[in-house]
Copies of this chain bind each other. A is one copy, B any other.
Amino acid sequence: MKYSKLFPKTLKNAPSGAQSLNHQLLVRGGFIDQLMAGSYSLLPLGWRVYLKIENIIREELNKVDCQEMLMPLLHPREIWDKTGRWSDPAVKEIMYQFKDIHDREFGLSFTHEEIVMYILGKFVRSYKDLPVLVYHFSTKFRNELRAKSGILRGREFIMKDLYSAHTSEEDMWKWYEVIKDAYLKIFKRVGLDVKVVEAAGGVFTKGHTHEFQAFTKNGEDTIYFCEKCDFIQNKEIFEGKTGDKCPRCGGEIKVSSSIEVGNIFPLGTKYSNALGVSYQDEKGEKQEVWFASYGVGMTRLIGTLVEIFHDDKGIIWPNSVAPYMVHLIGLDLQDAKVVAEAEKVYKLLQAEGIEVLFDDRIGVSAGAKFADADLIGIPYRVVISKKTGDKLEVKKRSDKETEFKTLDQLIEILTSR
């Protein structure tokens, strides 16, 4: 992609309302645009990051026999009435509910437990039909009273939600571990060090659940953890304070701010019973279906990456999710020879399957181009100018030093990763 054609360009200043760091950097870099409080467009650069993450999740979930599908966003009240959640005050606070011109009541999806269970009810008859593990990437709506924290907490956002149905509690827990492992692989691949934390179930279940938390300075959540063992709980359920003895091993309890990027809910039989979904076992006897759900906030994950991977100049994307791998900068582009060389490098890198953003603007200073590259945060900055001759000036976004490399050397570095 030539930067001259990229929509839109970077912005010099963050919008006045942008308090959180992820919001500021993502808006300035041209990754997102705010439509209203808590609602953002993913602009072309941001959408590329999104697709990278989506693809990693798809690969890891498909590996463990999860099946992708897509469920509707507009839900009839009747199905939500079956679990009683339609009228639950905690749900009514966050679910957009409205009537159409025929006075039929609808809600906008803030989650899909009821809907997936309704669908399962049409198809699950026998133990042979289980387990089922289905997921989708889909829009969620939550009428947040105070939408804040940039794309960490939106009124409209994308979530990957996975639902699993089982013949027994034992099978549910078995798959619960399989998915937990898949999640840990996903977070590792996108570049995050994530911890599995015990937490409250909120509007989903009265039992405890597990959250995937990324420790960072400006997180919404507070996590208490033992410095010695793997005891780790969300503030919501932790009974104690920093410096206390760990209830499990006696080690010291510490505290960290963090961001929740995923969660898993072992929901048991509540939803299947409410929707009347059961199965016949080998003996022909009717049995309860066990159920769990698992979520990853997609747009939130992008915001989390920015909160963690940045410096005072801009974003530093992990390679696996970067919108492009190389930010090629042409300087002295009044010179036809430099233009020809830059165009050649641009094409040859792409021919090797390397994704390149090529800053081909004429009349923009080197300083401005470097500042844009730092802000956008693509892993490798490659400069071609009158001075670079038959070499390329290469700098990793995460490093300070520049090095001179031949094109072949650069390709070698980028394709051997």
Contacts and interface: CB of A to CB of B under 8 A. Distances in A.
B156 A72 contact: yes
A411 interface: no
Interface in A255-305: none
B70 A33 contact: no
Contacts of A65: 5
A74 interface: yes
Interface of A: 1, 4-9, 33, 35-36, 39-44, 46-47, 50-51, 65, 67-76, 96, 98-101, 106, 108, 115, 118-119, 122-123, 128-129, 132, 134, 136, 139, 141, 143, 155-156, 158
Given A7-B67, A9-B123, A96-B100, A40 B72 contact: yes
A51 B62 CA distance: 14
A177 B4 CA distance: 23
A302 B136 CA distance: 19
Given A7-B129, A41-B69, A43-B69, 5 more contacts: A5-B65, A7-B67, A73-B73, A74-B155, A96-B106
Contacts of A40: 72
A76 B44 contact: no
A76 B134 contact: no
A73 B33 contact: no
Contact of A33 (B1, B4, B43, B119): B119
A109 B119 CA distance: 25
A76 B6 contact: no
26 contacts: A1-B67, A9-B123, A9-B129, A35-B71, A35-B72, A35-B75, A35-B76, A35-B118, A39-B74, A40-B72, A41-B69, A41-B71, A41-B115, A42-B69, A44-B67, A46-B69, A47-B68, A47-B70, A47-B136, A50-B70, A73-B139, A73-B156, A74-B96, A96-B98, A96-B100, A96-B106
Nearest to A36: B76
A31 to B, nearest CB: 10
A44 B72 contact: no
A417 B106 CA distance: 47
Nearest to A48: B68
Contacts of A156: 72-74
A133 to B, nearest CB: 8
B99 A98 contact: yes
A154 B70 CA distance: 15
A29 to B, nearest CB: 13
A129 B67 CA distance: 42
Instruction: With a 10 A CB-CB cut-off, give which of A6, A7, A36, A42 has the most chain B CB atoms.
Output: A7
A44 B68 contact: yes
A7 to B, nearest CB: 5
Nearest to A141: B74
Contact of A119 (B41, B72, B118, B155): B41
A70 B98 contact: no
A143 B101 contact: yes
B7 A132 contact: yes
Contact of A44 (B4, B96, B134): B134
A35 B76 CA distance: 8
A69 B96 contact: no
A223 B68 CA distance: 38
Contacts of A158: 70
Contacts of A134: 7, 44
A45 to B, nearest CB: 9
Contact of A39 (B7, B72, B119, B139): B72
A198 to B, nearest CB: 31
A292 B241 CA distance: 60
A50 B143 CA distance: 30
A9 B124 CA distance: 10
A123 B8 contact: yes
